[in-house]
Homo-oligomer: A and B are copies of this chain.
Amino acid sequence: MTAPRALRQDPDFQELLERLGVVWDLKAAAAVLAWDQETWMPPEGAPARARQLATLARLRHELFTAPRMGELLLRLQERTENLPADSFEASLVRVAARLHRRAVRIPPRLAEEWSQATARATHEWIVARRENRFALFAPHLARNVRLAREMADCLTWEQERYDALLEEYEPGMTTRQVDQLFQSLQAGLEGLVRAVLQQARPRQQYDGALRGRFPRAAQERLTLQVLEAVGFQFGRGRQDCSPHPFTTSFGAGDVRLTTRYREDNFTEALLSTLHEAGHALYEQGLPPEWERTPLFEGASLGVHESQSRLWENLVGRSREFWRFVLPLARRAFPGELAGVDPEQCYRAVNAVRPGLIRTEADELTYNLHIFLRFRLERELLEGRLAVEDLPDAWNAAMESLLGLRPPDDARGVLQDIHWAHGSFGYFPSYTLGNVLAVQLYRQALQELPGIPEAVARGDFAPLLGWMRRHVHRWGASLTGDELVRRAT
């Protein structure tokens, strides 16, 4: 049996590390370009940026699928067979080989077209959303769908095409499993939503508690304060502004999140910041010595989303959090929030109010937004729904699931960036993340019952520490399944 230490000296292993490092550098470089595209890039920078991202994607794909990479992985798989499965060496070879098997199935031409098309579509989506004109976005979305179908067919699938794309985010899960889980959740949720909505009085009572004028600069200072408090390290990251909040990482020392502000509502930016902070804390908690390898990532998208939902919903919508944050918010917005107490805030941010926008949805109705997207993208990919019919299908599904009809596409089918990005199969992970967040939080509370009181004091270290030890430090060396099983 080879010792892990001995394998580190193996020239093949070293060559693998170096080759994976170059691939990782190109991925990080592309992430910088994509971040800039969403934050600071001037409008006419888009066409050249799309070409640059396509070139980086093509080179990355070429280097990762080079025959030499396959040879090295094959040889090293033998040499790591007897190593502990959770050692860095065995995990690295296993995970790299899994990604490699998928990557070699995508022809370089398709990888490049994909990157170029999605970058372009993202730009057009921003314009279409701003101008509320689905027609501007439709041809780009149609191309994305066509390419996603082609991609799925190259990746191969058994039961249905959507499986091949879902695998990217939730390895080992099938579309049918997701569908079944969603149907059983939906049955429970719809009853719950109806029951809560019938108690209309308490909702209305707290509804106006958080109304006011909240200047953008003050909101920005408040979100930075909260980020600092929960443990985000600004020496190793930053927060910017973008139309659709996201988190990205260029390395252990550079993790960035974005947010957006509405001056009539500060809880949106605050909770969105906590959501992205969950992703960002995960990225900042990955083992820095794994940088430049495919282990320097979250275990799965669902696990990543468990972290964001944890901080947004289980922390950010708790009574204890509002005992901590309300005094800060009062200082940030002098004259506002004077007569409000933490209990009213707690009730206001937990009000169940079916709405049009996923990212503003309450915990209860949020998953209904996911079910809708999952079903529509599944239909698009199976070819049972045409892009031109999508707005109507969207609006009909909204009406049936949430009892609301979007007055325009900006508040309907154009609200999310995902399909522009080409992220088909991504939405289910949000709901999976909701479920995992509760599982992980319950376990953390069992081991550390003082967490809520610490949160009320602004001490987030016990909760973050638990997540660091049980989730973050494993990077992608465990699958989501293994990770959750070990943690709970």
Residues on A lying within 8 angstroms of B by beta carbon are 21-22, 25-26, 28-30, 32-33, 36, 40-49, 51-52, 55-56, 59, 234-238, 240, 250-254, 291-292
A28 contacts which chain B residues (CB < 8 A)? Answer: 48, 52
Given A238-B40, A253-B44, A254-B44, A51 and B25 touching (CB < 8 A)? yes
> With A29-B56, A42-B236, A49-B254 given, can you name 16 additional A-B contacts, CB distance below 8 Å?
A21-B51, A22-B55, A25-B51, A26-B56, A29-B33, A29-B52, A40-B40, A42-B237, A44-B253, A45-B250, A45-B251, A45-B254, A48-B250, A48-B254, A49-B251, A59-B59
Residues of chain B within 8 A (CB-CB) of A40 are: 40, 238, 240
CB <8 Å contact, B238 and A56: no
Contacts of A240 in B (CB 8 A): 40
Among B21, B29, B47, B250, point to the contact of A29 (Cβ < 8 A). B29
* Assembled-state Cα–Cα distance A43/B252 (Å): 12
Cβ–Cβ < 8 Å partners of A25 in chain B = 51-52, 55-56
Q: What are 26 sample pairs from A and B whose C-beta atoms fall under 8 A apart?
A: A21-B51, A22-B55, A25-B52, A25-B56, A28-B52, A29-B30, A29-B33, A32-B32, A32-B33, A32-B36, A32-B52, A40-B238, A42-B253, A42-B254, A43-B235, A43-B253, A44-B252, A44-B253, A45-B251, A45-B253, A46-B253, A47-B251, A48-B251, A48-B253, A52-B250, A52-B251
Chain B nearest CB from A135 CB (Å) reads 23
How many copies of this chain are found per oligomer?
2
State the 7 A-B residue pairs at the shortest beta-carbon distance, nearest first.
Answer: A48-B251, A45-B254, A44-B253, A25-B55, A44-B236, A25-B52, A45-B253
CA distance A252 to B21 in the complex (A): 31
Look across to chain B and name the residue whose beta carbon is closest to the beta carbon of A36.
B32
Residues on B with C-beta less than 8 A from A42 are: 234-238, 253-254
A45–B236 contact, CB under 8 A?
A: yes
